[in-house]
Amino acid sequence: MLTLLTNADVYAPAPLGRRHVLVAGGSIVSITKRVPEITGVPIDVVDLGGRRLVPGFIDAHVHVTGGGGEAGPETAAPAPALSRYTTAGVTSVVGLLGTDDTTRTTAGLLRQVYALRRQGLSAWAWTGGYHLPPTTLTGAVRTDIATVEPILGFGELAISDHRSSQPTMHEVARVAADCHVAGLMTGKAGVLHLHLGDGARGLGMIRDLLDTTELPARTFHPTHVNRRSGLLDEALDLAARGVTIDVTAFPPAFATDDEVLAAKAVERFIEAGHLARLTVSSDGGGCLPHFRDGELVRMDFATSGALADLLADLLGRGVPLEDALPPFTATPAHYLRLPNKGEIVEGGDADLVVLGDDRPTEVMARGRWHVRDSRPVVRGTFETSD
């Protein structure tokens, strides 16, 4: 069945104004100023009444198998349910392993990526985890990226964190080179996605790698940079050198005195003229531990819902929607080389979000409605209805 969304205020993410969007076979067939005349075939017409239609969000940092485990086996988080993503407006995810890349494996990560695809999301993966030597499927980072279709790069390799393997610059350079070369071989992103802890070394290693190797700036994708203000300052400097930075939508209740709220971090990138070098992600499925002198003092649980909260916060601060949207949509799609994602364009995938009161109320993933009237209409295999 065709789906025709009429009277949509389209942000592609650039504002297009009032448009009528025709969807068929999981793709956007047309975007027109006049309602198209369609006869002889079944069609579902949905009048959006001027509500804003935006691209589906891309969450490039999700613990799709669950994260955590830092405080014992009972603190390992379960895999998030399908509707945890869709009700937040997320239609594409990149899954990863974190602290526990010992009992959780790349094979298990890929299984969950394939499961999410079968349930209607678009999903990819980072190989590896916090530590070196890396957890891989084939035994080598370059081979994983070159031969396993969903794997885009390596992540989240931990630096400046007491939980990391304390990698040397030489070791990180070797992994980054494998990512870069595999990207050249395949046309994939070939990115090294880096977890930043709150250690004093900060982003110094990335600066040194840019200064002393031939690796291009796009190879490095540091995340969690808003965990303290000094780290965010370093990240803005790296953005000026061509590095794409990822800000984490930490829940406000988790914020420490020195942490920069995600909305404020995004505003700083806009003010500095570096919006094109910014992505945002949720750390969904992961535990949010707070340490003092290496000891766990409290823990929270992250979800992709933080992205919906972040967008609403940005709009509430007066950030225009066309400026707020790219880090959620077009920028990660272009940076991670995800074809047909991140924009509302003819021929693109029908990953669409309707906003009401600045939050997702309807969500379509690959042409199928997953959320209507703010409630999930498609659920994961083991989800129960409300």
Q: What is the chain's percent helix, strand, coil content, to nearest 5? A: 30, 30, 40
Residue from 132, 139, 210 nearest 171 by CA: 132
pLDDT score of 75: 81
Query: Is 370 annotated as a binding-site member?
Result: no
pLDDT score of 126: 98
Buried b (16+ CB within 10 A) or exposed e, 357-369: eebbbbbbbbbeb
pLDDT in tens, 166-182: 999 999 999 999 999 99
pLDDT score of 77: 85
Confidence bin at 141 (pLDDT 50/70/90):
very high
pLDDT in tens, 276-321: 999 999 999 987 766 677 677 777 778 999 999 999 999 999 999 9
Cα 46 to the chain's mean position, in Å?
Answer: 28
pLDDT in tens, 83-109: 999 999 999 999 999 999 999 999 999
Q: Please tell me the distance from the alpha carbon of residue 195 to that of residue 126, in angstroms, as a whole number.
A: 12
Mean predicted confidence (pLDDT) in 59-65: 97
Write out the DSSP string of 124-153: EEEE--SSSSPP-SSSSHHHHHHH-TTEEE
Q: Please tell me the distance from the alpha carbon of residue 286 to that of residue 257, in angstroms, as a whole number.
A: 21
Q: Does the annotation mark 349 as catalytic? A: no
Mean predicted confidence (pLDDT) in 33-41: 92
Mean predicted confidence (pLDDT) in 193-200: 95
How big is the CA angle at 336 (ends 353 and 329), to the nearest 5 degrees? 20
pLDDT in tens, 147-171: 999 999 999 999 999 999 999 999 9
pLDDT score of 384: 78
pLDDT in tens, 332-351: 999 999 999 999 999 999 99
Q: Please tell me the distance from the alpha carbon of residue 350 to that of residue 53, in angstroms, as a whole number.
A: 11
Query: Is 283 annotated as a binding-site member?
Result: yes
Confidence bin at 210 (pLDDT 50/70/90):
very high
pLDDT score of 256: 64
Q: What residue ranges in the chain does DSSP mark as E strands?
A: 2-11, 15-24, 27-32, 43-47, 52-55, 57-62, 90-95, 122-127, 151-159, 191-196, 220-223, 245-248, 278-281, 287-292, 295-301, 352-356, 359-365, 368-372, 375-376
Assess whether the previous peptide bond of 252 is cis (omega < 30° from 0).
no
How many CA atoms within 13 Å lie on the side-chain side of 354? 23
Query: Is 170 annotated as a binding-site member?
Result: no
pLDDT score of 253: 58
pLDDT, greater one: 70 or 183: 183
The mean-pLDDT minimum among 160-169, 216-225, 238-247, 291-300 falls in 291-300
pLDDT > 90? residue 255: no
pLDDT > 60? residue 254: no
Q: Please tell me the distance from the alpha carbon of residue 265 to that of residue 238, in angstroms, as a whole number.
A: 14
Residues pairing with 168 in the sheet: none
Of residues 283, 309, 313, 351, which has the active-site annotation?
A: 283
- Average pLDDT along the chain: 95
pLDDT > 70? residue 386: no
Q: How many CB atoms lie within 10 A of CB 118?
A: 10
Mean predicted confidence (pLDDT) in 236-247: 98
Domains of the chain: 2-54+340-376 (2.30.40.10), 57-335 (3.20.20.140)
Confidence bin at 114 (pLDDT 50/70/90):
very high
Residue 152 backbone phi and psi in degrees, to 5: -100, -25
